[in-house]
Amino acid sequence: MESPFKPEILKGKVALITGGASGIGFEISTQFGKHGASVALMGRRKQVLQSAVSVLQSLVIPAVGFEGDVRKQEDAARVVESTFKHFGRIDILVNAAAGNFLVSAEDLSSNGFRTVLDIDSVGTFTMCHEALKYLKKGGEGRSNSSSGGSIINISATLHYTASWYQIHVSAAKAAVDATTRNLALEWGTDYDIRVNGIAPGPISGTPGMSKLAPDEISSKARDYMPLYKLGEKWDIAMAALFLASDAGKFVNGDTMIVDGGLWLSRPRHLEKEAVKQVSRSVEKRSRNVPVGVPKSKL
Ligand code: COA
């Protein structure tokens, strides 16, 4: 699908995207590149990184891949520095790296819980912390820039209510959202850095989707969730473009929900026609009841 944004909205910007070589992260890398940014991808798998970078380069997007695990502080520091050395600045950090699997709370070990928090929550904070000096207004590589950089943390909607078999991810993403808001307050005030999040719904063709909603589950879900439909990676990338570009220059500390309204879904307990009937007859009945007469006496 064609982008509704002008192709130069990120012209001259450099973006570092964790988990940028696959899934939602790769689509963000691609769209950022198509809109003028140079992109550095961070990931654990060398081959996945290499093939992602070649695809981007074939689209004439300046791209580079750095191997690294967001759980390791030394990797985070090295990749941030390498990105700066390679492109001469860093304007945008996207934290898209995440870990997930379906498991009941009863069957989840503390280490399993901790592993996902380490990737999603601690990893996001570590990357933000390491990138700070480059994202600061007037910081290294940004001395001529009129504004500070921008951070986008990929979150979820799981923790808004509660989600089956996702206690670890719900806890991790709640921490990500808190991190987004707190950094938006501190770094927005001190350094003019905008920190926002995106909470995607189920997105087709992603590792998350195939892990969490295999085909059997997805088709069943469509039956009982009125708003159930899948989003596309493109939908998330467009939200990221909005937040990273000047279109979002007054947006700070927000986590934009991009799920087609799915998290609001409730089963419909009454058909619309039935509501009309029931509602009117209940009204009529209540009008005819004298005040103070108990129902049992009618
Ligand atoms: N069910 C229950 N526990 C699980 C599990 C599952 N499906 N998968 C992993 N765990 C537990 C392990 O048993 C282990 O705990 P233990 O030491 O108490 O046994 C802990 O989680 C760590 O597992 P390990 O396989 O050593 O972690 P890893 O660092 O190799 O991999 C994961 C991290 C598990 C998050 C892995 O799925 C991953 O790398 N994911 C990244 C990609 C991804 O998930 N993308 C989707 C994003 S939505």
Q: What is the pLDDT along the chain (298 residues), one digit of tens a residue?
A: 899 999 999 999 999 999 999 999 999 999 999 999 999 999 999 999 999 999 999 999 999 999 999 999 999 999 999 999 999 999 999 999 999 999 999 999 999 999 999 999 999 999 999 999 999 965 555 554 457 899 999 999 999 999 999 999 999 999 999 999 999 999 999 999 999 999 999 999 998 888 877 776 666 666 656 566 789 999 999 999 999 999 999 999 999 999 999 999 888 889 999 998 898 888 888 888 776 766 666 5
Model pTM? 0.92
3 state SS of 138? coil
The reply to whether 164 falls in a domain is yes
Distance CA 152, CA 143 (A): 22
Provide the b/e sequence for 252-267 (b: ≥16 CB within 10 Å).
bbbbbbbbbebbebee
- CATH number of domain containing 182: 3.40.50.720
Query: Of 76, 67, 62, which is closest to residue 30 (Cα–Cα)?
Result: 62
Residue in 72, 115, 167, 233 to alter for ligand 1 test, most ligand atoms within 8 A of Cβ: 115
Range of the domain at 39: 14-269
**Residue minimizing CA distance to atom 9 of ligand 1:** 112
Q: What is the 3-state secondary structure (H, E, C) of 202-251?
A: CECCCHHHHHHCCHHHHHHHHHHCCCCCCECHHHHHHHHHHHHCHHHCCC
The reply to whether 237 falls in a domain is yes
The reply to whether 283 falls in a domain is no
CB 42 within 8 A of CB 20: yes
The reply to whether 278 falls in a domain is no
What domain count does the chain have? Answer: 1
Residue 1 is given by DSSP the state -
Q: Residue holding tokens 């473009």?
A: 241
Residue in 101, 167, 203 to alter for ligand 1 test, most ligand atoms within 8 A of Cβ: 101
Distance CA 187, CA 191 (A): 5
Residue 9 Cα to ligand 1 midpoint, Å, equals 38
The reply to whether 274 falls in a domain is no
- Whether 211 is in the pocket of ligand 1, judged by its Cβ within 6 Å, is yes
- Whether 100 is in the pocket of ligand 1, judged by its Cβ within 6 Å, is yes
The reply to whether 284 falls in a domain is no
